[in-house]
Structure 1
Amino acid sequence: MNAAAPPFGPLEFQLVLLRRMADHQPGLVEDARRVLGASVSDMREANRRWQAMVRSPRGRGTLARLRSVLGEPESRTRRTIGDLECDALLWPVPLWPGLRFEALAGPGGAVWNEWLVRAPGAAGPELRAVADLRPWSCTVDEVARAFPARPLEGGAPARWALALSPRDEEPCVAEFTWGLLQRLVPAPRASPDNPYGRSR
């Protein structure tokens, strides 16, 4: 008889976040794993279990799953986005004390978005130039407020991208995983049939 799997909690959830980030920032992820006392195999196993929960036909909805893993949210506020209202739920993430994991839940509890955001009251970085955009230093919202930006397709689940047009600097693309900046890449060149310079 197989032993029961250990509980899936905040530690394992953080490993899931790191697993996706390892594609772009393996060095930072390795350092974070050491802080958590976890191995590469621990990270892979946590991701395997998470994906099994997400894909299970008998699985819980996103909001129920987050509650089962992270506990009750630290805060819950009503937010209006355009003509729609939703609940913004925040959970602490020990690896990043200045951030929170946010889920935006619409009517009926359907989760519209989930990612890392700056914790309420926490000071964000001063973003005055592209050189200030360091990996893991800022969130999608902070970069979008600091620079002329246009959203792009992220290319994979839990990924986002912003085309930036900094004043007096070369255009570039900021790439994010779970809402946290991972890297900057040169902006693709535009062409007559693709004026935005984004590969299709």
Structure 2
Amino acid sequence: MSPLDFQLVLLRRMADHNPGLVEDARRELGVPLARMREANKRWQAMVRSPRSRSAAGRYRSVLGPPESTAARRIGDLDCEAWLWPLPLWPDLRFEVLLAPNGAVWNEWLVRAPGAPSPALRALEDLTPWSCTVDEAARAFAPARPLEGTAPTRWGLAFTAPDAGGVGRRVVAEFTWGLLQRTAVDG
């Protein structure tokens, strides 16, 4: 598997919510639909294999050495963050958070260091692929994390003003850390 194949794996899960965006991205990468399916099949086989590498080893074998690593403290937990660039999303990085024992705690897309965050001020700014989980949580604090509907999916509940300035309760769904869709409650 290659970094290109890994991007196809990310896209495959995103296709459940945004098939049009995924189709455009697949064309931009210049690969046929069959290759996306094959990449996902191979990734799933790697993940489920009884002789598979650790999750951290799997990412290193597919993506190569991380572009950067950094110690990070989340609450009272120490971890290490590994970041890789992905050409399809130049302003993002694929981040893997590792526990001190090397176990992967989290894996998702985050904004690249130094890349500007999107201006998120209202409900209308929350378009598919416009922001990451942490950006939405910061912009519309306080946000409440929600259990995802599948592995690699996350949710956030928060209040965001609409175009008229009226606060609306929102549930945002993310795949691999990237916004896929929002639902407004009331």
- CA shift at 1:172, angstroms? 1.4
- CA shift at 1:36, angstroms? 0.8
- 1:34-183 aligned within 5 A: 34-148=27-141, 149-167=143-161, 168-183=166-181
Map Cα deviations across residues 50-79 of structure 1 (whole Å, 9 max, x no partner).
000000010000110000000000000000
Distance across 2 between alignment mates of 1:161 and 1:66? 24
- CA shift at 1:81, angstroms? 1.1
Point out the structure with max Rg over C-alpha: 1
Counterpart among 14, 17, 23 of residue 30 in structure 1: 23
Task: Flag the structure with higher strand content.
Answer: 2
What are the ranges of 5 or more consecutive residues in structure 1 without an aligned counterpart?
1-7, 190-200
- CA shift at 1:25, angstroms? 0.4
The alignment of Structure 1 onto Structure 2 pairs a total of residues equal to 181
What are the ranges of 5 or more consecutive residues in structure 2 without an aligned counterpart?
none
Structure 2-normalised TM-score? 0.95
Distance across 1 between alignment mates of 2:18 and 2:149? 17
- CA shift at 1:186, angstroms? 2.5
RMSD of equivalent CA atoms: 1.0
**Could you tell me the percent identity over the aligned residues?**
69
- CA shift at 1:82, angstroms? 1.4
Counterpart among 10, 20, 27 of residue 13 in structure 2: 20
Distance across 1 between alignment mates of 2:160 and 2:42? 41
The one-letter amino acid of 1:118's match is R
SS of 1:87's equivalent?
strand
- Structure of greater relative contact order (alpha carbons < 8 Å, 6+ residues apart): 2
